[in-house]
Amino acid sequence: MAAIRSLPLSQGPKPIPTFGLGTFRAEGNDCHESCLAALPRPMADNLCRREIENEDQVGTSIEAFLAEQTEVTRDDLFIVTKLHWDSHGGDKAVAKVEESLKKLKLAYVDLFLMHSPKGNKVVETYKGLLEAKARGLIRALGVSNFGKEQLIELLATGVEVPAVNQIELHVWNQQRDLTYFCQQKNIVVMAFCPLARGDKFGKTRLTAIAERLGTSEATLCNYWVLKSGFVTIPKSVKPSRITGNLEVLEIRLSANDVAELDTLEEAFECSLAVAAQRIPWSEVA
């Protein structure tokens, strides 16, 4: 199997893998099994969200995995978690970082994301997270669900440029203006819902393209994200699907095939979180 590529980050000592595992709403044994299936690959971008309280489950999985390994250490993993928008505020944000690390049973995370501008006090919160970064609790700091104008306003305050912006991104919602801006500012784009939750499977021209190329729609969705220079984090709780998602590393498409995927854009949003990108800065700053 081909190796998973990594992208350099503007912050931190470690590049980010371009293929990871999303654990949003994965709970209990499902969360544990999906993490154990992903960690050996090394799909170690274990994305957690405080609102679903699965950081402790992910932490237990990481601890169990490392206890059984002789060749893999914590430093070989790239672990990401988030600050939920109900925890905004400088001191509150730092306290939540400490709480996340305790649940994850870690001394630091490789990337910490502010989940959304929706929680207001964005600048104060971001500066609080930078303090946590200065303490070594966070190696790199990024944001999620930030639109272009929000990023412009945040950068205008003089803070360190976010290392990552995680957004809904897939062949049916390519967000070209935003992703171009991020690339110009050296902000790595991470795609959540890269498969659009499967909502479009069997309903668009992608179905015929996949049949012609002898592959799956999911594989083509992940391929488009990776070929565009972004990070993809498809979520699954089934080990077989996690393994299946890795098929994207084995295929090669022609320039014409990739161009055809580009034409699938239709501004389709499968997540309500995207709306946060459009909140005026005056309401979130």
CA distances (Å), 217 to each of 46, 93, 188, 248, in order? 23, 39, 24, 11
pTM of this prediction?
0.90
Rounded to whole angstroms, how far apart are CA atoms 278 and 38?
A: 34
One DSSP character per residue, 111-157 reads: EEEE--GGGS-HHHHHHHHHHHHHTTSBS-EEEES--HHHHHHHHHT
- Please list the pLDDT of the chain residue by residue as tens digits (285 residues): 567 889 999 999 999 999 886 544 444 455 445 444 445 444 444 333 333 357 888 888 888 888 888 888 888 888 899 999 999 999 999 999 999 999 999 999 999 999 999 999 999 999 999 999 999 999 999 999 999 999 999 999 999 999 999 999 999 999 999 999 999 999 999 999 999 999 999 999 999 999 999 999 999 999 999 999 999 998 765 565 666 677 888 899 999 999 999 999 999 999 999 999 999 999 999
pLDDT of residue 21: 66
CA distances (Å), 1 to each of 33, 89, 169, 227, 248, in order? 22, 44, 25, 17, 10
> Which residues are within 8 A (CB) of 261 and not within 5 positions of it... i.e. 6 or more apart?
171, 206, 209, 220, 223, 224, 253
pLDDT of residue 142: 98
Annotated binding site: 115
Annotated binding site for substrate: 115
pLDDT of residue 39: 53
Q: How many residues does the chain have?
A: 285
pLDDT of residue 2: 67
pLDDT of residue 27: 47
Domains observed in the chain: 14-197+218-250+265-279 (3.20.20.100)
Strand partners, 19: 232
